[in-house]
Structure 1
Amino acid sequence: MTGGQKRPKYRRIADALRAQIDAGEYGPGDRLPGENPLAAEHGVAAMTARQALNALKNEGLVEARKGAGFYVRSFKPIRRRSIARLSREHWGSGATIFSADDARELTVEASLLGEVTAPEPIARVLDLGEAGSSFARTRRFIVEDRPVLLSTSYMPYDLVAGTPVAEVETGPGGTYARLADLGHAPVHFREEVRVRAPSAEDAARLRLSADTPVIKIVRTAYEATGRAIEVNEMTLDSLAYVLEYDFDA
């Protein structure tokens, strides 16, 4: 048997439908064939056809509408322009970092955690000492009623306590603009990227199935002295994002 034949039947049906979606035969908002037509077309049981449709649903390509079938999602992926978004020219102009990625309206649910003991790896990067005292905030980013990103940011507590950086709304340009106001402008960033299965909390807050991968990005911001002034742990819905890197050779 060939490699393709070894794949379960429902996977082969899902592959065929995915190829049709990629080719534009089914566009955003279009209804896919129901389980009975698919079962007849591929010579399988209706349950197998439903497995194929649910597989595409779990990938985020389609959505199920109660009593109406499966439809191609109309959500356009966010292009995370990983370099342009962090330029001082961008946030220094008062723009939000997200605006470099996407022009759609963004809802941000922010919560101040205040003074917390940072996790040991973060405390080490921020050089917080034995106490590990940091200021932390969490955010959930929502686009078109879809949660797409979770973020927890840690900064040295003695650096930002009692300043605009520690407010829920940090103002034009966000955290990095306020750090610049304090004389601690970030001049260098480092990001680590990996992919894994979501935790139960990630899945709940991002409204994902347990088998939909998430992208984990940890960004560290450094000031001119080389001191790390922020570590931001982010969890992205992998189906909502394209990571874009554009740089000269």
Structure 2
Amino acid sequence: MQIADEIVQHIRAGVLKPGDMVPSESELVERYGVSGGTIRKAMVEVRASGLVHTRHGKGSFVKDRPPVRSRSSDRFRASHRRGGRAAYLAESEQAGATAKVSVLFVGPVAAPDEVAERLGVESGSQVLARRRLYFRNGVPVETATSYLPWDVVRDIPELFAENPGPGGIYARLEDAGHAFAEFVETLQARSAARAEASELGLGSGAPVIHLVREAITSTGRVVEVCDTLMAADQFVLSYRIPAVD
């Protein structure tokens, strides 16, 4: 732990700069006079800090990936949608980052059990899925799949397009008369599966945040379930919690 703490402090102090390679195992063994096993354990702790990434056969490198501040109580403001900005673009703009969204899939799918339950539809019934990969300054940071009830989307052709237009899918749903009352998010921290880590450019077993959001209208209907996976080292989640009824 002492070795790991010293390496982390070197990174935070700028002794090791973004893009620099962390000294190799043999160098660290010689420097600290300990076994290779001790160094490997120390590097597990360093990687857990989210400050480095490991390239197979090449070593560990300091990340140039400052966290995005995700303002969960602000990012879905109606004013953003009226201004033509979807939540992720508004969030990135506030962070001074360059955002890009790559649409991986748009089309009908059978609703997974948990999604169907949240949407209030039969398991396996047809829903519209929209899967995206989000980038910040050219780095993949988040994947998200939105599931929307078929009876809600079938008369909104923009939702079947890769680009649904200014303000994103929530703006198109509002245009169709679905007024939002609230968004409910459930978060869980866990390790990334191998395929998930590969898609986000993370090391095997890297920490991720699994977030599931329900978009609920003023009539109490859930019109979207968004299943999101976020690189944990990229996000600081900030919430505003009212202290009054």
Partner of 1:95: 85
Q: Is the 8 A contact 1:58 1:209 kept in 2?
A: no
Secondary structure of 2:66's match?
coil
Once the two structures are superposed, residues 218-246 of structure 1 have per-residue CA deviations (whole angstroms, 9 ceiling, x without a partner) of 00001110111000000011112111223
Distance 1:26 1:131, change over 3 A: closer
Q: Which amino acid aligns with 1:208?
A: L
Q: Which amino acid aligns with 2:101?
A: V
Partner of 1:116: 109
Q: Which amino acid aligns with 1:203?
A: A
Q: Which of 121, 126, 138 is the matching residue for 1:128?
A: 121
Q: Which of 136, 140, 152 is the matching residue for 1:143?
A: 136
Residue 228 of structure 1 pairs with residue 218 of structure 2: no
For the residues of structure 2 that align with 1:63 and 1:195, how far apart are their CA atoms?
19
Q: Is the 8 A contact 1:148 1:206 kept in 2?
A: yes
Distance 1:46 1:38, change over 3 A: same
Distance 1:66 1:123, change over 3 A: closer
Which deviates more from structure 2 when the two are superposed, residues 138-147 or residues 188-197? 138-147
Q: Sequence identity of aligned pairs in percent?
A: 35
For the residues of structure 2 that align with 1:46 and 1:124, how far apart are their CA atoms?
50
Q: Which of 7, 30, 34 is the matching residue for 1:17?
A: 7
CA shift for structure 1 position 206:
1.3
CA shift for structure 1 position 34:
4.7
Distance 1:166 1:197, change over 3 A: same
Distance 1:178 1:15, change over 3 A: same
Once the two structures are superposed, residues 68-89 of structure 1 have per-residue CA deviations (whole angstroms, 9 ceiling, x without a partner) of 8654222111111111101112
CA shift for structure 1 position 125:
2.0
* The structure with more radius of gyration: 1
Q: Which amino acid aligns with 2:29?
A: A
Partner of 1:194: 188
CA shift for structure 1 position 40:
3.2
Distance 1:68 1:185, change over 3 A: same
Q: Is the 8 A contact 1:219 1:231 kept in 2?
A: yes
Q: Which amino acid aligns with 1:77?
A: P
Which runs of 5 or more structure 1 residues have no equivalent in the other structure?
1-10
Q: Which amino acid aligns with 1:138?
A: R
Once the two structures are superposed, residues 113-162 of structure 1 have per-residue CA deviations (whole angstroms, 9 ceiling, x without a partner) of 42222112221221223662211110111223321111110011111125
Q: Is the 8 A contact 1:59 1:212 kept in 2?
A: no
Partner of 1:155: 148
For the residues of structure 2 that align with 1:220 and 1:44, how far apart are their CA atoms?
51
Count of aligned positions? 239
TM-score scaled by length of structure 1: 0.83
Partner of 2:100: 107
Q: Is the 8 A contact 2:54 2:203 kept in 1?
A: no
Secondary structure of 1:116's match?
strand
For the residues of structure 1 that align with 2:131 and 2:20, how far apart are their CA atoms?
36
Partner of 2:51: 61
Distance 1:74 1:209, change over 3 A: closer
For the residues of structure 2 that align with 1:20 and 1:130, how far apart are their CA atoms?
52
Partner of 2:62: 72
User: Where in structure 2 are the equivalents of 1:40-55 lying within 5 Å?
Assistant: 40-45=30-35, 48-49=38-39, 52-53=42-43
Residue 219 of structure 1 pairs with residue 213 of structure 2: yes
Stretches of 4+ moved more than 6 A in 1? 65-69
For the residues of structure 2 that align with 1:204 and 1:71, how far apart are their CA atoms?
17
Secondary structure of 2:233's match?
coil
CA shift for structure 1 position 23:
4.5
